[in-house]
A and B are shown apart, each in its own frame.
Chain A
Amino acid sequence: METLKSIYEVTWFILLVAAGVAVLIGYLYSHFKFYSRSWFFPAALAAFPLLALAVFGGLLGGYTFKLWLYFLLAEAAIAAFFRSVVKGRHTVPYLMLAPAFVGLALLLVYPFIFEVYLSFHDLKLTTIMTWKNTGTLPFVGIDQYVKVFTTSPLSETTFWHLLLRTLVWTFSNVFFHVLGGFILALMLNNHIKFKGFYRTLLVIPWAMPQVVAVLAMRGEFHSTNGFVNIVINKLLAVFPFLAGLGVAPVQWLTDYPLLTCTLINIWLGIPFMMVVILGGLQSISSSYYDAADIDGASYFQKLRFITLPLVRPVMMPAVTLGTVWTFNNINVIYLVTGQAGGTEQADILVSALYKAAFTYNRYSYSAAFALVVFAMLFFFSVFYLKSFDAAKDER
């Protein structure tokens, strides 16, 4: 019975979405097709605002005359836009794009706007019931943004400390991703036997679901049963002098949580860089290396003057992506340290943000926090890609 009910619900939902898409396409199609007819403008003004009111009125605060007026103004603007700017051109591409665009709007644009709304109001554990009952929230202006920089999202660590930690985390991770990926790609780019086999092995951490990979690795860092400490113990048994050098088993998860997370994340991130860089290496024509050989370049000179500049175009977008992913990587931190009673020593901005929202229930504060993080990443990416474009235009 339960199953049947789920199927019924899913089917109903799919039909609803399909109907929505159909209505949207019909709406756009009529604008594309009849924009120039004399009857279209009044007809559209009469029909569509009423339709919209019927569909959305309940959601957006009652079937009021004011709402209908808004819809009327919107329709007038849209119809004018179709009449004077679009003029029926590019009908098919726009119609094809419309469903995807609506999906994106529902999944990204709406939450984003709601987040902005939240960040200027005050939603937290003490106000959430008022919100539910009255539908209004106290407006607080930029207070939440001030709080982001002045108070701590966690019990111990401040925003600035978290930011610094995040930068160190991001930089060290991306640095080793690129370094490791580059070295592995260089090795795989030679004529070696069983190349495909090695490549497959090396890509596995990336192909596995991250949760599984991280939890498995976390086990290996367990203080008594983990692979890492077992190996250290065996090494100490075989080479006793290592103890004199300070080598000893470590309480990875409690004493060095951030280091552990970093090691795990480096292991996880190398395959992606390796694959991207390997693709770049394979696209470099061998005749450049022939020419460099004749010009008398050594292995490292070829690496520096030929390989690096020529893989840069594929590496830069990958590095940008990798930076954003690492900066925002909550999976590894949360899965390794974030369970109940976990430490705060390894928290970076996003994991602190997660805790602020869902452990401490400071919703508006987290919304502002998330927007600050978003702004940082946005400007970083724009700056990075711009500088990359500039470099590309040079050549």
Chain B
Amino acid sequence: MATVQFKKIIKKFGDNLVLNGVDVDIKDHEFVVIVGPSGCGKTTLLRMLAGLEEITDGEIFIDNLLVNELHPSKREIAMVFQDYALYPHMTVEENMNFALRLRKMPKKEIAARVTEAANILQLNKFLKRMPKQLSGGQRQRVAIGRAIVRKPKVFLFDEPLSNLDAKLREEMRVEIAKLYQRLNATIIYVTHDQVEAMTLAGRIVIMNHGIVQQVGSPIEVYRKPCNLFVAGFIGSPTMNLLSGRLSIADGVSVFFNESLTLPIPAFVLPQKEARDGREVVLGIRPDDVLVEHPGGEKCSSKIEGVLEVCELLGHRENLYLKVGGQRLLATVEAFFNRSPGSAVSLCLNYQNMHIFDKVTERRISE
């Protein structure tokens, strides 16, 4: 139904630069998730799109219409706030139809839309209640209901699940995914929970310090993080990041530090000559640290390590390993029957290896 474009968006609160040149194009009927650590400007960006916050510089287009000076109600957007912002003195029904009443929509139509939304969100029983008589999850659904009765072009969700407990959050996540398929609208969803980001998003926008770090599908940002921040931010448990240096020995690129020397095949790192002598960070996800693995073509040769701690998660197990002075986290199938202190052999999966320049923090591997 609608496209959204951010063009070189800059936002300052006084001298505090909060957003620094945000450029994102959002396509029609796309589910875009904005993630980033707390305070990186996600809410601010949403509020600017909604028209609740002045735009210091740059342009925002909705459906190719410049909306910088447009009143929030004219932008045909709906926002679900981080704290829900349900009107405390109105019933659920009144909360949901407030916007429609203001527009003087015919009563019949209002009732029809509220009933429809209440059906989708299973709120029928609560229509006559006051917000304070609802649980967190129910309030959450009312807030969403208030957004969908208006049939907006773009939905904005600001960390809608952050106040819910883990189980409810999972349920609501699925509800939102269903809602998206049903509503056929553009959704922009802010969160700092990366599970939400990975599961819901069509595309993820990763932000840090008011700068967009990477935009891509969940798989892209997981498989090919474009810089160190994204590599460390996406994925759970966090990626192992090993500092070291590159050199060329016998025509092969080699990564080394005090604890580890690792040949890097050409399919991981092209242009090996240009990288000679650089300080780099090597990233490898815990899943790609293969323990007691027969090895193979796409794997590094065996490395000897010591098992420090095991953490059983159920079907998986986290192994905290030490190779020389270097700590490594590996995730393996349960049950890894070794006692802490025993020696293990491991190898690193070249296929999912990331190498970043230490200075620019940019990705230099394939």
Contact = CB atoms under 8 A, between A and B. Distances in A.
Nearest to B79: A294
B118 interface: no
Contact of B85 (A285, A296, A297, A394): A285
B350 interface: no
Interface centre among A288, A293, A295, A305 (most CB of B within 10 A): A295
Contacts of B89: 309-310, 395
Contact of B102 (A285, A288, A297): A297
Contact of A295 (B88, B98, B130): B98
B50 interface: yes
A296 B83 contact: no
Contact of A310 (B71, B88, B102): B88
B87 A306 contact: yes
Interface in B77-99: 77-79, 81, 83, 85, 87-89, 98-99
A291 B50 contact: no
B182 interface: no
Contacts of A309: 89
Given A305-B98, A395-B130, A294 B87 contact: no
B73 interface: yes
B263 interface: no
B52 interface: yes
A285 B82 CA distance: 13
A288 B81 CA distance: 10
Interface string A282-299: 000101101111111100
B130 A291 contact: no
Given A287-B83, A295-B102, A395 B88 contact: yes
A305 B98 CA distance: 9
A394 B78 CA distance: 28
A293 B51 contact: yes
Range for the number of chain A residues in contact with chain B = 10 to 19
A304 B28 CA distance: 37
Contacts of B74: 296
B108 interface: no
A24 B203 CA distance: 78
Contact of B73 (A285, A287, A295, A306): A295
B98 A294 contact: no
A272 to B, nearest CB: 24
Interface string A274-288: 000000000001011
Nearest to B150: A295
A294 B50 contact: yes
A100 to B, nearest CB: 36
A287 B85 contact: yes
Nearest to B47: A290
A287 B131 CA distance: 15
Contact of A294 (B72, B88, B130): B72
Contacts of B72: 293-294, 296
A394 B88 CA distance: 11
Interface in B125-153: 130, 132, 146, 150
Contacts of B79: 290-291, 294
Given A306-B87, A310-B89, A293 B73 contact: yes
B315 interface: no
A136 interface: no
Contact of B78 (A288, A290, A294, A306): A294
A395 B103 CA distance: 25
Interface in B218-258: none
Contacts of A301: 102
Nearest to B75: A294
B85 A288 contact: yes
Interface string B155-199: 000000000000000000000000000000000000000000000
A393 to B, nearest CB: 10
Contacts of B78: 294
Contacts of B88: 310, 395
Contacts of B51: 293-294
B132 to A, nearest CB: 7
A60 B150 CA distance: 77
A301 B47 CA distance: 21
A290 B85 contact: yes
A305 B130 CA distance: 15
Contacts of A290: 47, 50, 52, 79, 81, 85
Contacts of A394: 130
B46 to A, nearest CB: 11
Given A290-B81, A395-B132, A296 B99 contact: yes
Interface centre among B52, B72, B89, B146 (most CB of A within 10 A): B89
A291 B85 contact: yes
Interface string B57-77: 000000000000001111001
A296 B87 contact: no
28 contacts: A285-B83, A287-B81, A288-B85, A288-B87, A290-B47, A290-B52, A290-B79, A291-B81, A291-B146, A292-B87, A292-B98, A293-B52, A293-B71, A293-B72, A294-B51, A294-B52, A294-B72, A295-B73, A295-B98, A295-B99, A295-B102, A296-B74, A296-B99, A297-B73, A301-B102, A310-B88, A310-B89, A395-B89
By Cβ-Cβ distance, the 4 closest A-B pairs, closest first, are A296-B73, A295-B99, A287-B85, A309-B89
Given A288-B87, A294-B52, A294-B99, 19 more contacts: A285-B83, A288-B85, A291-B79, A291-B85, A291-B87, A292-B87, A293-B71, A293-B73, A294-B73, A295-B150, A296-B72, A296-B74, A301-B102, A305-B98, A309-B89, A310-B88, A310-B89, A395-B88, A395-B132
